[in-house]
């Protein structure tokens, strides 16, 4: 067999191996995909019960209710329409979690239609200031930031 044909066969085998590895990776990760839903999308076409998804929207004003155990919180997530999805979360709430703020809840839809969140991510606007820097002027904040980075270099 000529060297040209050997190289062609090796290239074809390598290409087939790459395609096979890609298909194998996609097949093995098919159940690991975490889809993002808006409240109106979840109301219109809900995911399967127990499927891991993310629900993103705004915390409806007046909807946060803490249960008697002090750890479980129920609230509603709304979007651009009147659709609101009930969410239940047990755990420590993020500092930025308040009514009317943005939230991304990771979890799954329960059989009763309540979204069971196992992780909450609170979103903030462009005016966010960490607690450590509240009340400081721009120069003070810049000096504090430079003082904290000096030891890292």
- Do 90 and 108 fall into the same domain? yes
| Ordered DSSP codes for 72-134 | EEEEEEE-SSS-EEEEEEESPPPTT--TTSEEEEEEEE-TTS-EEEEEEEE---TT---GGGT
Domains held by the chain: number:
2
Q: Are 99 and 62 in contact (CB under 8 A)?
A: yes
If asked whether residues 55 and 69 sit together in one domain, one would say yes
Considering the domain architecture, whether residues 46 and 92 belong to the same structural domain is answered as yes
In a domain, 53, yes or no: yes
Residues 6 or more apart from 87 whose CB is under 8 A from it? 55, 74, 75, 76, 77, 105, 107, 114, 115, 116, 117
The reply to whether 50 and 25 lie within a common domain is no
**pLDDT in the model for residue 31:** 64
- Are 41 and 113 part of one and the same domain? yes
For the chain, which ranges sit under pLDDT 50? none
pTM for the model stands at 0.63
Residues 56, 100 within the same domain: yes
Between β-strands 102-109 and 53-59, what pairing exists: parallel, antiparallel or unpaired?
Answer: antiparallel
Q: Does 64 lie in the same domain as 107?
A: yes
On whether both 45 and 112 belong to a single domain, the answer is yes
Q: Render pLDDT for 88-122 as a digit per residue (tens, 0 to 9).
A: 999 888 888 888 888 999 999 999 989 999 999 88
| Residue 107 CB contacts under 8 Å (≥ 6 apart), including other chains | 52, 53, 55, 87, 89, 115, 116, 117, 118, 119
The reply to whether 105 falls in a domain is yes
What one-character DSSP code corresponds to residue 57? Answer: E
128 located within any domain: no
Range of the domain at 14: 1-32
Q: Which pLDDT score, from 0 to 100, does residue 48 have?
A: 87
Tell whether 136 is covered by a domain.
Answer: no
């Amino acid at each position: 067999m000529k060297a040209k044909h050997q190289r062609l066969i090796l290239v074809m085998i390598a290409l087939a191996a790459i395609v096979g590895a890609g298909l194998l990776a996609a097949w093995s990760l098919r159940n690991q995909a975490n889809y993002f839903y808006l409240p109106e999308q979840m109301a219109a076409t809900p995911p399967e019960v127990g499927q891991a998804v993310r629900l993103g929207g705004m915390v409806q004003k007046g909807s946060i209710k803490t249960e008697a155990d002090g750890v479980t919180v129920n609230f509603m997530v709304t979007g651009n329409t009147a659709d609101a999805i009930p969410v239940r979360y047990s755990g420590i709430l993020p500092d930025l979690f308040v009514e009317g703020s943005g939230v991304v809840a990771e979890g799954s839809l329960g059989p009763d239609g309540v979204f069971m969140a196992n992780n909450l991510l609170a979103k903030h606007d462009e005016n966010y200031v960490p607690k450590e820097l509240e009340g400081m002027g721009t120069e003070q904040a810049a000096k504090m930031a430079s003082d904290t980075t000096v030891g890292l270099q």
